[in-house]
Structure 1
Amino acid sequence: MKIGIVGATGKAGSLILDEAVSRGHEVTAIVRNAAKLTSDNVSVIEKDVHDTNEEDFRGLEVVINAFGAPLGEKDAHVEAGRALINALAGTGIRLIVVGGAGSLYIDDSKTMTVIDTPNFPDIFKPTAGGQSENLEELEQTTNVKWTFISPSADFDAEGKRTGTYEKGEDVLLVNNAGESYISYADFAIAVIDEAENADHVNARFTVVGEKE
């Protein structure tokens, strides 16, 4: 497949890029600084996501939004998400968004989301709020094929690649140890699986993994 990855030099984006390349996909990295790329096996568009347009993505089948906003900036995720919605509108190119866990419900009653729980850290609320707003805009979009993937509450950048994960819809999951956990590496597997299989078009899903 021809896959574009926005934010391909970030913690999540770089692992998603590696996963895509390892499976033989033709990858285009959309990054602000191409010098930070660690892979030579990709095409590059050196551009801020906010400045992208339909022409930048022509010929791609999937665009993965792994844009990472600085901690505390709510609007950054919203504006980056909106830029991609506008660029991909009516093109038929699928948009897969690396989301957050804050918008997930804490149980099947669906009366409270993770971000509204008393112990949710204030420092993460702007980021989680921006990601939640991006999801809301996607849900109101009719001319883009999108998927929003929420990680578990403990999203571990240093965690091992176990090669397995479990999926759910919009309720926070826990693993066999009772932990809401997934490594970035296993999350990357889930992202590329979705790119290949298109199991959740115009929907959000979530994933949980095991610690190794």
Structure 2
Amino acid sequence: MKIAVVAANGKAGKLITNEAVKRNHDVTAIVRHKNQTEAPQVLQKDLYDLTAQDLKSFDIVVDAFGVWDPADMDLHESSLMHLVDCLSGTNTQLFIVGGAGSLYVDAEHKKQLKDTPDFPKEARPVAVGMGKALERLKDRSDVQWIYVSPAASFETDGVKTDDYTIASNEYVENNEGESKISYSDYAIGFVDAIESGKYNQVQISIYQN
């Protein structure tokens, strides 16, 4: 498949890019600065400057953009909506590197992880910002989107185990009572989800068994 990864130099974006290259997909890294990935093609351009013309040839566009400064939380929503507008009415699938805060902790889907008492206060601004972007995304039936949440503990330096599950939009703990996933396993599961071709307009999650 022809895959473009927006913000490919980021922690998740880089691993997803390299995993897709490893599997012999035709990958383009979309970056603002010098490419730091293994992608054979590079488009050096700011996300907000991307156009429908830039993205029209891709089967998959991966949105790996993220910000953590509390003052920039609105960028989660505006950046995602810009990509959605670029892909509106096309057959290109938009896979989003999401957050865990929007996972539901009840079967009725009334309460999300970010609203539980033990959710880390320092992570809440990001969770709220990403949650608002996801709610806007759910209103867009004109785009083939897939929102991919990690487990609650998203471990930058976590061990690659190759032992993970792709699940629904509900919070899940493994047999040890943990909800975690390494960036490495997340990237593998992310590309697995792309290759499966079975998801559309849905939030999924990836957690370590």
TM over 0.5: yes
Q: Is the 8 A contact 1:71 1:124 kept in 2?
A: no
| CA contact 1:173–1:207 (8 Å) conserved in 2 | no
* Cα displacement (A) at 1:143: 1.1
Can you list the C-alpha shifts for 1:116-147, whole angstroms capped at 9, x where unaligned? Answer: 11222232222111211121122111111010
Q: Are 2:79 and 1:80 aligned? A: yes
Uncovered stretches (5+) of structure 1, i.e. residues with no partner: none
My pick for the range that moved more, 153-162 or 167-176, is 167-176
Distance of 1:88 and 1:111 partners within structure 2: 30
Does the aligned pair in 2 maintain the 1:74–1:128 contact within 8 Å?
A: no
1:12 aligns with 2:12: yes
Q: Which residue of 2 aligns with 1:152?
A: 151
Q: Is the partner of 1:123 in helix, strand or coil? A: helix
Question: In 1, are the aligned partners of 2:99 and 2:149 still within 8 Å (CA)?
Answer: yes
Aligned residue in 1 for 2:142: 143
Tell me the distance in 2 between the aligned counterparts of 1:63 and 1:38.
16
Residue type matched to 1:23 in 2? R
Deviations 1:173-199 (A, max 9, x none): 111211000011111111111211122
TM-score normalised by structure 1 residue count: 0.93
Q: Which residue of 1 aligns with 2:115?
A: 116
Q: How far off is 1:70 after superposition?
A: 2.9
Deviation at 1:109, TM superposition (A): 4.3
Q: Which residue of 2 aligns with 1:49?
A: 47
CA RMSD in angstroms, aligned pairs only: 1.4
- Please give the alpha-carbon distance, in whole angstroms, between the structure 2 residues aligned to 1:119 and 1:191: 27
User: Residues 101 and 151 of structure 1 are in contact (CA less than 8 Å); yes or no, is this contact kept in structure 2?
Assistant: yes
Q: Which amino acid aligns with 1:155?
A: F
Residue 184 of structure 1 corresponds to which residue in structure 2? 183
Quote the sequence identity (%): 39
Give yes or no for contact 2:56–2:87 (8 Å, CA) kept in 1: no
Give the CA deviation at 1:92.
Answer: 1.2
CA distance in 1, matches of 2:112, 2:149: 13
Query: Aligned partner of 1:148: which letter?
Result: Y
Report if aligned partners of 1:31, 1:48 keep a CA contact under 8 Å in 2.
yes
Residue 174 of structure 1: aligned partner: 173
* TM-score, normalised with respect to structure 2: 0.94
Could you tell me how far apart the structure 1 residues matched to 2:40 and 2:24 are? Answer: 11
Match of 1:162 in 2: 161
Q: Distance in 2 between matches of 1:26 and 1:134?
A: 28
Aligned-residue offset at 1:205: 0.8
Runs of 5+ unmatched residues, structure 2: none
Aligned length: 208
State the SS of the aligned residue for 1:105: coil
> Mean alpha-carbon deviation: is it higher for 51-60 or for 94-103?
51-60
Deviant stretches of 4+, over 4 Å:
none
1:87 aligned counterpart, secondary structure: helix
Q: Which amino acid aligns with 1:76?
A: L
